[in-house]
Amino acid sequence: MRVTANAFNDSLINQLNVLTSRQYNLQNQVSTGLRISAPSDDPAAMTNTLKYQADKAAQTQYGSNIATLQTRATSIYNVLQSLQTISSRVGELSTLASDSTKSPADLNNYGDEVKQLIQQAAQLANTKDAATGQYLFGGTAAGAAPFTVATDANGNVTGVTYQGNSSVNKIEIASGVTVAVDIPGANTSGSGARGLITDSQSGADFFNHLISLQNDLASGNTAAIASTDSANLQKDENNLLYHVSSNGVMQSRLNLAATITSNSSQSLDKMISDASSADVVQTMVQLNQAQTAYQAALQSGAKIMQLSILNYIS
């Protein structure tokens, strides 16, 4: 069978094209550190890599959610501590006022302090999240201040109105796992998240109980303070303690979730690297082999066809 010169040319060109492509791919692997950059490089490895990358993206989002919740939980905890301080002071005042030997002047002084404490508590209950500008204790209606305070001409607090709702946002921290760190300012439904200030489940009604104490101090009704106000304020203290405890448990849970998410992300990074990264040393060896093969193909082709670069330029 007669073989034409064109057949040798075509075969040589095809071989050189294959070797050129091989060199290009290996050079790209060396420069990028990646063994695969397209599905055709290794379909199975590419499938695994894409799955690992999707999992990593999910872990990154969970980590961001957890960090946001941790910051918010810390802000809530700081408010809870301040409210506990107010609650403790109010408890002290109600105990002092229960002493029948206190003078009207003493009771008026206590009443003036209670007025200030109510205003302070309302300011705390209207705290905003520094990161989002949303109110912490308005439930899901967090765009407006949840509590408004009404006073009379003498500065006495006549009422504190809640304008939020009893719902809370839940955020995903792992696949299928959602949590809420928020506390609604009030919940009178008897179910769901317990309210911070008013909660029908626990009997807490902090502002109204403070207003009753304020009024009883102003009227000198020490009997009501001893028999009713003190007991009601204890319910508020217990409710705050519940929220402090719940917040601590949630922060511990978020810390654990953050650790798990971080570990998962690191594991996925390694899996992505194992699936897609090139062994640089091995790749360099293969590149040298491809370059040698390319030079050999050029030389052997020139001999077979009795051609050389000088033939082309002569």
- Parallel, antiparallel, or unpaired for β 198-199 and 186-187? parallel
Q: What is the CA radius of gyration of the chain?
A: 37
Superfamily of domain 54-269: f41 fragment of flagellin, N-terminal domain (1.20.1330.10)
Terminal alpha carbon distance of the chain = 32
Q: What are phi and psi of 250, to 5 degrees?
A: -65, -40
**According to the model, what pLDDT value does residue 22 have?**
54
Long-range contacts of 240-243 (CB under 8 A, 24+ apart): 240/80, 240/83, 240/84, 240/87, 240/196, 241/84, 242/194, 242/202, 243/80, 243/183, 243/194, 243/196
Angle separating helix axes 206-219 and 230-276, nearest 10 degrees: 150
**According to the model, what pLDDT value does residue 33 have?**
52
- Tracing tokens 């946002």 back to the chain, one arrives at 169
Beta strands in the chain (DSSP E): 147-151, 157-162, 171-174, 177-179, 186-187, 198-199, 204-205
Total Cβ atoms within 10 A of residue 309? 9
**According to the model, what pLDDT value does residue 52 have?**
80
**According to the model, what pLDDT value does residue 284 have?**
53
Partnered with residue 179 across adjacent β-strands are 171
Question: b vs e for 148-174, b when ≥16 Cβ sit within 10 Å of the residue's Cβ?
Answer: ebeeeeeebbeebebebbbbbeebebb
Check: CB of residue 158 under 8 Å from CB of residue 148.
Answer: no
C-alpha–C-alpha distance, residues 118 and 123, integer Å: 9
C-alpha–C-alpha distance, residues 263 and 258, integer Å: 9
Region of residue 241 (left: phi > 0; alpha: psi -120 to 50; beta: else): alpha
Low-confidence residues of the chain: pLDDT under 50: 1, 278-281, 285, 307-310, 312-314
Please give the structure tokens belonging to residue 91.
Answer: 């408890």
Domain ranges across the chain: 54-269
C-alpha–C-alpha distance, residues 209 and 186, integer Å: 14
118: exposed, middle or buried (C-beta count within 10 Å: 0-12, 13-18, 19+)? buried
**According to the model, what pLDDT value does residue 279 have?**
47
**According to the model, what pLDDT value does residue 95 have?**
95
Write down the pTM of the prediction: 0.76
Q: What is the DSSP string of 232-285?
A: HHHHHHHHHHHHHHHHHHHHHHHHHHHHHHHHHHHHHHHHHHHHHB--HHHHHH
Total residues found in the chain within this entry: 314
Check: CB of residue 88 under 8 Å from CB of residue 230.
Answer: no
**According to the model, what pLDDT value does residue 48 have?**
73
